[in-house]
Structure 1
Amino acid sequence: MHEQNQAAPPDRPSPPAGPGPTGPPGPAASSALAPLIGQAVLALVAAYVVFTSFGLGLWSHIGPGPGFFPLVLGVAMLLLALSWFVQERRRTATPAAAPAQGAATATEVPEVPVIPGIPSTPAAGTGDGSGGRGHVLAVVGSLIVLGLLIDLLGFQLTMFAFLLFHLKRQNAVRWITAVIISAVGSVGTFVLFGAGLGVQLPAAGIPFLANLGL
């Protein structure tokens, strides 16, 4: 009895895959959008400071006018926003390559902070974009609170709380280091502008705090 060979049926071409359903933007899109919002807010605040500084007067017969240093601060904030934007574009354009599976990794060297008590790199986020959104909301919210309370509590208290909040929450700086930096950035700046440069920063509107020199 002769063995009969059965020919296999030809393979049918699979139908082309159509575009999948488009859903809401994933964590990567949200994480990329958060820095752009922060940069835009910083640039808008800087532009407002620069615009209002011209109305205060940039120079007087005795030296810098009330609007000179706000102008310098606004320009510095604009440059900071531009630098942040360029760095973010470079980071997203050249993502770090993941190491191959089984490949030997370099020996990790413990990171030494430049300033004691201040980590060189911020704490890593959760990876789902919530860290970036939280950072932006914290910056925007603290700036709004700063603007609302600076005439009531004065520059020294509001700036001290602003700096302390960001040093502790955003960068996990040690308490003693955060307090020293916040005091220098608030009280030191107030004394420098008032006594050294003759520019009076906002004092507290509450009589009790004003009597304390705040």
Structure 2
Amino acid sequence: MSEFSKSCKLLTKLSTDLDRLLESHSALPPLPPPSSTLTATSSPRTSDFESIRFQIEGEGGIAGKIDRYKQRLTEKDPVTCNDRYGDKMKKNVTEFIASYEAFCADLEIVFAPEGVYESLKQREKTEASNIVKSEEAKKKAKEEEEKRAKMRAEEERLASLTEQQRQEEIQAKEREELRIQAEIARKQRQERETKEREEQERKEQGKGKEWH
């Protein structure tokens, strides 16, 4: 494949790519607010447009060959003095140059100060900022949830502690009641023993009188 054929094929591809990118850009929905969940999209990137421009203006790009094609349109064969390009080739080169210039005009509009490229560049900055804000919001929400979880755990611990204290109070009260009952029983036993002893002493005293 000749160099010219390669250039034609490349320009056709770049034109198709540019049209596709511009169509995708025009169909972009508004950016969601920072608090929304961001999802990956197939939106064009500034790097896509930069790649196209590089293949036109960069080293080895089409721009570096256009002047040579234009020059050859006016050149004559030094031997035959005929045009370097035949009629068919001249027509193809002329059409190619026209397509190239139209493409460059479109590209210039894309990269204009208020053009698609700057608009997309600003959009990417906003997207990046929104992603940061979204991540910060997620982090804050996670921290809040962890804080609430700790509070719930503490409340449960305190509730458990309160229940434990209640059980301890009940057990202490039961022990106190048992102590009181035991004390009452002890006093009753002492009183009974005292009465029995006094009764025994009276009986013994009565027997002593009978002997006399």
Do they superpose with TM above 0.5?
no
Give the shorter-chain TM-score range. Answer: under 0.3
Rg larger in structure:
2
Structure with the higher helix share, 1 or 2: 2
